Structure 1
Amino acid sequence: MSRRFVNLMVDRIISHRAASTLHLINPWRCFYPTTTQASAAANNKTIITEDAHLPRAAISFYEPCSQDVLCDIRFMSLGRSSNDIISMDHEGNTFLYDAAARAVRVLPMPHAPKLSPVSLTVGDGLYLLNGDPGQQEDHPFEALIHCGPSANPIDDRSDEKWYWRSLPPPPCAFDYEDDNERYRRRGYEIGAYTVVGDSQIWISTEGGGTFSRADYGARLLRCSAYSVIGAGGGDRKTQLVASVSCVGWAAGVLKIRWGPAHPGPPVASPLTFSFNTTSGVWSKAGEWALPFSGRVEYAPEHGLWFGFSSQGKHFAACDLGAVSATRPPVLLKMWDELAPPLPKRWVMVSSYLLPLDGGKFCIPRIFDMAGEGWCREKNGNDFMRVDGFAVFTGVEVERGSRGALRMIKHMSRRYSFGCRMARVV
C-alpha cells in the first residue's frame, strides 16, 4: 500500500524562531484518470505543468536552538507506506509524529546523535547510518526497533515500545593505528540507498581502501549509492551492502589495491561490502558500485529497482536481482520526466522518488529560481536566489509488447515556498 501524501518540509522563521513546517502533498493529483488520457496528452505535446497552492502546514517543528546557533533537525520517514515521521535534533532527542492521530510521541534517544544520516526502513526497524561513520564506540550505525502492542484483547494496557540497537559500522569506517599515530578515513559520504523486499540493505560508495603509513596522501571517500535487497522468505540471508572506491587525495596516508609494482599513486577500485542484518557481520560483496545516486526504490510490478542515475540524475531502472560478485549492476533505461531543456533560471537542488501502486511514481524535484540575467555558462553556480519551488511529476512505467520499458508522463504541479530551503521526507 502506498502513501496518501508526500511529506514536504519547508524551513521557516516563526515568531523569531527557526522551524520546519510539514506540508502534505497529494501525489495522485499529478495523474490523469487513465493511462490512455496520459498517452494522448503526451502524443499531442499537451503535458500540463500547473502552479498549485501549497497546502497549509499540518504541524511545525521548532529547532531547539536560537538562529545564531547551528543545530539542525533531521527528519526521516517510517517507510514508503507510512506518512509518520521521525525527527531527531543535534543532541539525539527523538520524536515520532503520528500523521493519522496528528500527535507527537517522545521516543528513546539513540546511543549517540546522528550527523547527516541515511535512513532505511527494514521490517519493524528504522536503520540509521552516519554520513561519515566512525568507530564502534561512536555508535555511527543504529536501528530503531518497534515492538507493536499485545494482541491480547483482555489486556487493555499497551506494551508497545521502541528501542535502539547499536550495530557495527562498515569496515571502511574503522580507525587504524600505525607508529603510535591514529589515522582515520575522512570524506566518507553516503549518497544513495534503497530497500528491496523485506530484508537487505545495500550501500554504495565511491571510495575505499585501508589507511596505513606511506609516502602518499589519503584518498577521500565518497558514497554514491546504497540499497536493500532482500530475502522475501525462506532461508535467504539479509545483507546490507556498501560499495567503495577512492576518489581524491587528502592529508594522511593510504594503502589500497595497487597497480603494477612501481612507485606512484594507487589504482582506485570500487568495492561493495555486505552487512547481514541477522548475523550482524560485514563481508565483501563485489568490486562494483551501484549506478545510482539518492534513494533507490523497488517496484514489484516490474521486478526492478528505480532511482536517479549517478550521472545526470536521470530517472532510471536497473535489475539488481541479476547482480553477483563478478557481475556489476547496469542501468536498463533512463528517462527525463521534465522535458529538456529546463528554463534557464531553474537550478535543480535535489530529487526524490516515491513509488505508488500499479507501476506509478511521483517524482518531486526541488529548484531554486536564479535572478534575472543569470547564465549557467557564464556564472556557473554563482547566482542570486529569488525564489524556491518544488515540481511534483506523475509518471508511469510499463512494458511494451516485446518487454521494453516505456515511461508515460502524466502531469506536473509546481509548489512555490519563497526563498526558503525545502526537502521531501
Structure 2
Amino acid sequence: MNRRFLYMLVRASPLCGSYTLRRTNPSRLFYPMDSPERAAAAAAAAAAGAVRAATSKAEATERPVEDARLPPATTTFRCYNTERPHFGLFGRDKDKILVVDENEAVSRAVVYDDASRCIHMLPSPREPKIEPFSVAVGDNLYLMEGNPQGDKDDSDEHERSQYEATVEALLPGGEDTYWWRSIPPPPYAARMCNLNDDVRAYAAVGESSIWMSTDLTTSTFALDTASGAWSRAGDWPLPFVGRAEHVPEHGGLWFCLSDSGLLHAWDLRAEGRPAARRTRGHIADMAEGLLVGSEVAHLGDGRLCVGRLFEVKQEGSREHCTCCRYHWRPSRVFAMFTGVEVEDAGDGTLHLIEHKSCRYSLGVGKSAQFVF
C-alpha cells in the first residue's frame, strides 16, 4: 500500500473560515488477505455480481459499518478571503497539501508538508480562479479553473493565466521551494464569459497528460504538462463526472463512483471512445443519509478507498440567521471511508470486494471535503 494517510478538511461552521486537517490510516479499512473475513467479502462480491448480471440491477448489500471517533486535528487552516478555499494533494508520497485562499481582489497560497509539519509560502497565483480544481501529475500539482474563459487581452502583459502549475525544486541547501508556471488556456475556452460551460470531468493520464471535458463540448482535450500544449484527445466527452482515479495494476483503468453507488471503470488508453470495463459488486451506503460528495483514492496493490459525505436532517431543530431572518433545519454530517479491493475475475470482469467501512460523525452544521 503506497499511501500512509488519507486526508479530510472539516469546517467548524458555515460562517467560520477555520478548517481542521484530519488524517486516517487506510490500512485499517482492509482485512488480512488470508482471513475468513476477506474470503466472505470476496464471496459476497461474486454473489452480488451474479445477481446484477441476471437482473441488470445492483444488489444492495449491507456490510457492517464501524462508528469511529474523529481523528485528532493535525493542524488548522484559517481562511478569510473566500467562502470555500481550495485544497489539493500532491507530492511523490501524497503528503503535501496546497491551500489557496482567494477572492476577486486577492489570492494567497501556501503548501503544507505533513511529513515535516512545515508551511511553505508560495507566490500568489497571477489571477484568482473561478471554481478551481487541481490535478497531481508526477511531483507537480496543476491548479485549474473550473470555468475557463480564455484570454481577456491579447498582450503578454495582460494575458490571463487560468492554468498554473506548482513546480517543486530541491535547492542545494535541502530546502523545498515552489513557483508558478503559467499555461495557456485550453482551445475551447471562449473569449466571452460563458458561465454555463464548466469542466465536467477530468483525469491525469500517463506521466505527463491531463484530460478534461466540459458541459457544452462534445470532445475531450488533453494538456501536455511537459510542453504546456493543448490537443484534442477525441471527439467524445469523458464518460464520467468529476475526477477519475488511475489504477495501473489492472491494465491501466480509471475508476469513478456514480451517484447510485456503483464504482465504474474505463480504459482511457483504448483506441476511440473510452471502453467501460464490467464490474461486479456494490458499495453499501447510508440508507438514512443524502450523499453530498464522494472521492476515490488509489492506495496501490489494486486497492481503493471510497470516501463519501452524507447529510442527515435533524428533526425538531431549526437554526436562523440574525441578518436575514432565514430559517433552516441543520443537518448532521457523516464521513464514511470504505476499503475496496479490485480483483480480476478472469472472464473480462472485475470483482469489487468491499472490506471495512469506517464512519465518522462530524457534527451538526459542519462541512467537510476530502483531499485525495
Deviation readout 1:261-309 (Å, 9 max, x if unpaired): xxxxxxxxx1122333333332323210111122211112112323325
Equivalent residue for 2:89, pick from 74, 77, 83: 77
Is 1:187 the equivalent of 2:196? Answer: yes
Deviation readout 1:193-221 (Å, 9 max, x if unpaired): 222331111012231xxxxxxxxxxxxxx
Q: CA deviation at 1:407?
A: 1.1
Distance in 2 of aligned mates of 1:280 and 1:111? 17
Equivalent residue for 1:306, pick from 254, 261, 265: 254
Distance in 2 of aligned mates of 1:413 and 1:311? 20
Is 1:364 the equivalent of 2:307? Answer: yes
Partner residue, 1:230 = none
Question: Could you say what secondary structure the match of 1:3 adopts?
Answer: coil
Distance in 2 of aligned mates of 1:78 and 1:199? 14
Distance in 2 of aligned mates of 1:135 and 1:80? 32
Question: Could you say what secondary structure the match of 1:349 adopts?
Answer: strand
Q: Which runs of 5+ in 1 are unaligned?
A: 151-156, 176-182, 208-243, 245-269, 374-382
Question: Could you say what secondary structure the match of 1:202 adopts?
Answer: strand
Partner residue, 1:202 = 211
Partner residue, 1:214 = none
Distance in 2 of aligned mates of 1:42 and 1:370? 34
Partner residue, 2:25 = 26
* Partner AA of 2:31 in structure 1: Y
Equivalent residue for 2:135, pick from 112, 116, 120: 120
Partner residue, 2:171 = 149
Q: Percent identity?
A: 37
Q: Which runs of 5+ in 2 are unaligned?
A: 45-60, 152-158, 317-327
Question: Could you say what secondary structure the match of 1:298 adopts?
Answer: strand
Distance in 1 of aligned mates of 2:123 and 2:179? 6
Partner residue, 1:7 = 7
Is 1:295 the equivalent of 2:243? Answer: yes
TM-score normalised by structure 2 residue count: 0.81
Matches within 5 A, 1:366-405: 366-372=309-315, 384-405=329-350
Summarize the Cα distance change of 1:195–1:80 in structure 2 as closer, same or farther, 3 Å threshold.
farther
Matches within 5 A, 1:228-267: 244=217
Tell me: higher relative CO, structure 1 or 2? Use CA pairs within 8 A at least 6 residues apart. Answer: 2
Partner residue, 1:217 = none
Partner residue, 1:377 = none
Is 1:280 the equivalent of 2:302? Answer: no
Q: Which entry has the higher C-alpha Rg, 1 or 2?
A: 1
Matches within 5 A, 1:209-220: none
Distance in 1 of aligned mates of 2:348 and 2:222? 32
Distance in 2 of aligned mates of 1:106 and 1:100? 16
Partner residue, 1:135 = 150
Q: Is the 8 A contact 2:261 2:283 kept in 1?
A: no
TM-score normalised by structure 1 residue count: 0.72
Cα RMSD for the two superposed structures: 2.6
Equivalent residue for 1:59, pick from 66, 75, 78: 75
Summarize the Cα distance change of 1:401–1:35 in structure 2 as closer, same or farther, 3 Å threshold.
farther
